């Protein structure tokens, strides 16, 4: 129980004092996760919408694969990215292994299927509602794609948050491809894992509390903004 008390006290102290080490880790964590979510959204949102709107051979297989990839094990993704980015790998020449960029790549691979699969469902539901009207106005699936992404923006905020949740909480992949190098690739989750292995549970818990606070604040803010807008537009 002392660990919990110490952890809360330490977390509060670090946050109040804006501890330089903590800020560096938090900053890198947010930078990696936000970049990964942004890039995964650029890929996943149109991909999911396209699968929802277009009919083509193999579509069902793609839907099944996307849904299955939502549960992709992070360590497997980490290992694959490691092999591709390692010196002997096809992209080894770029020297990306053990850099924040490698962590971003791994997180993109992890969360793009989540964003794409959930977007497909949101857009498929909207298409069912709007198809006749949009076709009547002269909009086929291609024109409907940006329209429905915009129309589904309130639901898609939740989809993006799900991706962010996965990215910010992920440890296996970033540990493998980032290496948890101090001042270079150390993020909150890998720091927590390290401190636990060192037996420094109070610091690990304190970092956990910071991570939870940040994650809850970001999700809460996005939820409130989305809900307020949703009310104005009536679902």
Quick check: 98 and 179 in contact, CB under 8 A?
A: yes
- Least distance from another protein to the Cβ atom of residue 154, Å: 8
DSSP 3-state of 170 = coil
- Least distance from another protein to the Cβ atom of residue 223, Å: 18
Nearer to another protein, 55 or 87 (CB): 55
Distance CA 8, CA 196 (A): 16
State which of residues 31, 147, 158, 215 lies at the interface with another protein (CB under 8 A): 147
- Least distance from another protein to the Cβ atom of residue 153, Å: 8
Residues 4-63 that bind another protein (CB under 8 A): none
Quick check: 115 and 191 in contact, CB under 8 A?
A: no
Count other C-beta atoms under 10 Å from residue 186's C-beta: 20
State which of residues 51, 154, 168, 211 lies at the interface with another protein (CB under 8 A): 154
Residues 205-234 that bind another protein (CB under 8 A): 232-234
Nearer to another protein, 18 or 132 (CB): 132
* Angle, CA 36 vertex, CA 195 and CA 78 arms, to 5°: 55
- Least distance from another protein to the Cβ atom of residue 158, Å: 15
User: Of 9-17, 51-59, 144-152, 192-200, which segment contacts another protein by CB under 8 A?
Assistant: 144-152
Backbone angles phi, psi at 179, to 5 degrees: 85, -5
Contacts of 73 (CB under 8 A, 6+ apart): 172
Quick check: 189 and 103 in contact, CB under 8 A?
A: no
71 scored as a contact of another protein (CB under 8 A): no
Quick check: 34 and 228 in contact, CB under 8 A?
A: no
State which of residues 5, 64, 68, 137 lies at the interface with another protein (CB under 8 A): 137
> Which residues are at the interface with another protein (CB under 8 A)?
129-130, 132-133, 135-139, 143, 147, 150-151, 153-154, 232-235
């Amino acid at each position: 129980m002392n660990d919990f008390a110490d952890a809360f006290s330490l977390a509060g102290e670090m946050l109040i004092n804006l501890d330089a080490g903590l800020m560096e880790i938090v900053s890198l964590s947010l930078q990696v996760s936000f970049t990964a979510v942004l890039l995964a959204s650029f890929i996943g949102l149109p991909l999911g919408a396209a699968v929802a709107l277009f009919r083509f051979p193999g579509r069902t297989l793609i839907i099944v694969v996307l849904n299955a990839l939502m549960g992709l094990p992070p360590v497997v993704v980490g290992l694959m990215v490691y092999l591709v980015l390692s010196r002997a790998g096809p992209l080894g020449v770029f020297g990306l292994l053990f850099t924040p960029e490698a962590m971003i790549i791994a997180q993109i691979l992890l969360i793009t299927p989540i964003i794409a699969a959930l977007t497909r469902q949101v857009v498929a539901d909207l298409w069912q509602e709007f198809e006749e009207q949009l076709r009547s106005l002269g909009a086929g699936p291609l024109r409907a794609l940006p329209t429905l992404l915009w129309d589904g923006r309130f639901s898609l905020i939740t989809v993006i948050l799900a991706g962010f949740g996965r990215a910010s909480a992920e440890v296996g992949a970033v540990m493998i491809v980032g290496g948890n190098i101090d001042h270079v690739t150390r993020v909150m989750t890998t720091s927590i894992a390290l401190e636990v292995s060192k037996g420094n549970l109070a610091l690990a818990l304190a970092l956990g509390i910071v991570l939870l606070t940040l994650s809850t604040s970001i999700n809460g803010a996005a939820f409130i903004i989305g809900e307020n807008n949703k009310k104005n537009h009536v679902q």
